A and B are shown apart, each in its own frame.
Chain A
Amino acid sequence: MHGENTQLHAERPQPICRMVFYTFISSEGEISLLVVVVDVNPIWWGQHAQSEPEFTLSKCLDAVMVMGNAHMAMTRTNQLAVIAAHCQDSHFLYPSKRLKGNDDTSSSRDGKYELLSVTNNLIAEEIRDIMSKTELTGNSTDTLLAGSLAKALCYINRISKEVGVAQEIKSRILVIKAADDCALQYMNFMNVIFAAQKQNILIDACVLDSDSGLLQQACDITGGLYLKIPQKVALAQYLLWVFLPDSEQRSLLVLPPPAHVDYRAACFCHRTLIEIGYVCSVCLSIFCNFSPICTTCETAFKIQLPQMVKPKKKKPKLPA
């Protein structure tokens, strides 16, 4: 680590330089909680590992660990949590239940900050455990991302309550996404996004493979950053450069601009995205074509035909 870092120092001082100076400037006592949600869908990773052997799940997790260590090393009060989103369930990699079990963790051999070595070991143990217990049911091949995000929000909520009212805590969620979006999770996803927005929690997204409309919306609504990485092998660099600074520091940096989000609605009949459509005034369902009866609420609509102008007949005046 040292060798590599000094090289980086000499060539490109900028990225890490910023971190050093910002530790002096950041406010005292403010807790910053970073929750990383890693997509460990075994099907996607297994497929891609075969086609791209230089970037595997191990490498991805290493990069995540580097970023986590950097986050915790920046300020003593920073906290970290890592959640693995599997297709069966979502699992906390750190902090895990094993933390309380092993009090006699071997002291780190290479002089690392103890917290970091404990963290890394725990994450490794947990992910090995999860992967070994992977069972194929065949039904679900999609990552349970909405559930993991919900768990992340609950964890943040719990930590905020534990910390108390006097302490300020700023939280954000970083999603590292590998597999594709699941359309079935749409409703849950939107609920999670709005809940995060209410709690002022940023959702950042680092997308490895294909663009995700849901995550784009999430980042746009909560004020986070969405980035699709061109090179997966340089994941660590992208994480450290773009996603490590918190929202206050981001305003002082030059970062990739926000992506254009497609907010078009989908029609209820074909599920295609439309720009102009018809909306039922009773149930607010959207259609791409007009139909006289709304299929959702069975309200009948009348169209006004152009009226024929009738000649007015004068009423005969009644005799006084």
Chain B
Amino acid sequence: MASLSEEVLLVVKKVRQKKQDGTLYLMAERIAWGPEGKDRFTVSHSYSDIRCQKISPDGKAKVQLQLVLHTGESTTFHFANESTSRKDWEAAKELLQQLLPKFKKKANKELEEKNKMLQEDPVLFQLYKDLVVSQVISAEEFWANRLGGINNGESAACENKQEVGISGAFLADIRPQTDGCNGLRYNLTADIIESIFRTYPAVKQKYKENVPHNLTEKEFWTRFFQSHYFHRDRISTGTQDIFSECARQDEKGLKSLVTQGVKNPMVDLLSLEDKTLDEGYGISSALPSTSHASRTVKESSNFAIIKRFNHHSAMVLAAGSRKRDVPADQASETSSTDGNSRDSDFFQPPLKKVKLQEAIEYEDLQQENRPKTVALNLKKSDRYAHGPVPLQSQQYTTSQDIINSVNYIKHEMSNYKPNLTQVLSSAAASSAIAALSPGGVLMQQVAQQAINQMVPTEIQAELKHLYVAAGELLRHFWTCFPVNTAFLEEKLTGHLECMLQAAYSKFHIWQTRRMMRKT
């Protein structure tokens, strides 16, 4: 039953359905039909269920409207009112035309969201497969929790998405190609079609009206390109073209644009006129008259082209700044000319002032407004430069001492000759080593074990053998220098070389053997 809160958009009386008289109600979210005299609706379809509507062609006597649902079934309504059937039928058709796309998108969008979610999250997909496909839980339950986020987030996502603008040159993309025998091929992609619809809502309207009832899409576009509307020289003769109405609408729109003018006070379009300085240098000649009659043919065709270009640019800009979800606003497309009207709204006095100020002042040339700080005022900054006074008492030396010491050292070093063979006595060396070994004077805090306690004795013995052998080889090596005789030279380059190699490989073998034994 119809709820009280539902908004009834249209009521059509005397609509027959299945040979029964009744009334057709178009509500905000559904379409319903109830038989005459009864209160309840026998037929009720929500718009999201309707796939499309079909209308009977114009010539037929019977005026019918058929609704095809997604499920495939269809319902036919016959508008039987003698006098107003046509009008009712058209009104109903138009309303449906406008409402259906809105709901269609919603239904599709939900499915799309679901698909996307399943694709993005493989875990979810697996879960879905396991639970829903094998019918453990129904699909509705599965999506009940998850889709709650979608409906809320949808509007936000839509707002955040940037709208794709229209390329100004989209008409140029339709490059006609000669088709062999005197024909032209125009390539239309979906993008171009969309651009045309967005820029010229009048064309869109025509498309909706005629396709698919009167013309096929192909025919529509053929007519479009053939029409003078599209062509350069638009001569608005009274032809029976479906697009002549569009041409008239465009003219109207253009005139309203011109009268509106540009409200932005920063832009002065009138100063951009062509001013020639010939013929008198400064004497202003009379402005060329803009009336149609006095123009030459060439001038008028140029004028037409320029007019068309201006109109086209204005439409592109208007379409770009127009929001998407205003389909009901199509009637006012040219008069809105959103760019301009918005400009005029924007340039209220305070904003204009702000704009002027921005143009005049530069931010970084102005005084900086940093928070006020107090300067640090150090009276005795050399205090930071001194470290702690050494704890040991200073040794004081008399100047005589100093002089004596310096003389002594000078004397000593004047005869200095390095004597590197007498640097270290073995007694001193051994005592130093004892001090440095674990347990010695300097190593009291070392808790580490000496390696010779960690390594087993047999490895130590082997290592000692290897080391002694290496030492012997080294001794041979060093005794070859200086290379005075040929014998030494030969020994060095040949004999010793392979000896060293042999020694190295022996050590390497031993090392790997040891490591293998460990593991």
Contact = CB atoms under 8 A, between A and B. Distances in A.
B432 A59 contact: no
Interface stretch (B78-86, B238-246, B392-400): B392-400
Contacts of B464: 13
Interface stretch (A96-104, A131-139, A162-170, A306-314): A131-139
Interface in A31-57: 42-47, 49-50, 56-57
A17 B467 contact: yes
Contact of B408 (A8, A17, A50, A189): A50
A316 interface: no
27 contacts: A11-B426, A12-B433, A13-B467, A20-B467, A46-B408, A57-B409, A57-B412, A58-B416, A120-B420, A123-B418, A124-B418, A128-B413, A134-B410, A138-B402, A180-B392, A183-B388, A210-B392, A230-B442, A231-B435, A237-B428, A241-B433, A271-B389, A285-B384, A296-B380, A296-B383, A297-B376, A297-B379
A154 to B, nearest CB: 22
A71 B393 CA distance: 38
A66 interface: yes
Contacts of B443: 254, 256-257
A273 interface: yes
User: Which 4 pairs from chain A and chain B are nearest by CB?
Assistant: A46-B405, A186-B387, A266-B388, A234-B432
Contacts of A227: 442
Nearest to B386: A186
B409 A141 contact: no
B404 interface: yes
B456 interface: no
Nearest to A112: B481
A13 B460 CA distance: 12
B469 to A, nearest CB: 12
A27 interface: no
B477 to A, nearest CB: 12
Interface of A: 1, 3-4, 7-9, 11-13, 15, 17, 20, 24, 42-47, 49-50, 56-59, 61-63, 65-66, 69, 111, 120, 123-124, 127-128, 131-132, 134, 136, 138, 141, 180-181, 183-184, 186-187, 189-190, 210, 213-214, 227, 230-231, 233-234, 236-238, 241-242, 254-257, 264-266, 268, 271-273, 282-283, 285, 295-298
A1 B421 contact: yes
Contact of B405 (A1, A50, A238, A282): A50
B165 to A, nearest CB: 50
Contacts of A283: 376, 378
B485 interface: no
Nearest to B480: A111
B389 A254 contact: no
A238 B379 contact: no
Given A62-B423, A63-B424, A237-B428, 12 more contacts: A45-B405, A47-B397, A47-B405, A58-B419, A111-B482, A131-B410, A180-B394, A238-B432, A256-B446, A272-B389, A296-B383, A297-B379
Given A231-B428, A234-B428, A285 B383 contact: yes
B58 to A, nearest CB: 80
Interface in B108-141: none
A62 B420 contact: yes
Interface residues of B, number: 69
Nearest to B374: A282
B403 interface: yes
B429 A12 contact: yes
Interface in B345-404: 376-381, 383-392, 394-395, 397, 399, 401-404
A141 B413 contact: no
A298 B386 contact: no
A295 B408 CA distance: 48
Contacts of A273: 388, 391
Contacts of B482: 111
B448 interface: yes
B426 A136 contact: no
Nearest to B447: A257
A8 B421 CA distance: 13
A237 B448 contact: no
Contacts of A127: 413, 416
B423 A63 contact: yes
Contacts of B445: 257
Contact of B416 (A124, A134, A190, A285): A124
Contacts of B75: none
A43 B405 contact: yes
Nearest to A136: B406
Contacts of B470: 20
A131 B360 CA distance: 73
B57 interface: no
Interface string B453-468: 0000000000010010
A183 B390 CA distance: 7
Contact of A242 (B390, B403, B408, B436): B436
Contact of A111 (B388, B412, B481): B481
Nearest to A181: B390
B463 to A, nearest CB: 9
B414 interface: yes
B450 interface: yes
Given A47-B397, A124-B417, A295-B379, A7 B436 contact: no
Contacts of B402: 43, 136, 138, 141
B438 interface: yes
Contacts of B418: 61-62, 65, 120, 123-124
A119 B471 CA distance: 26
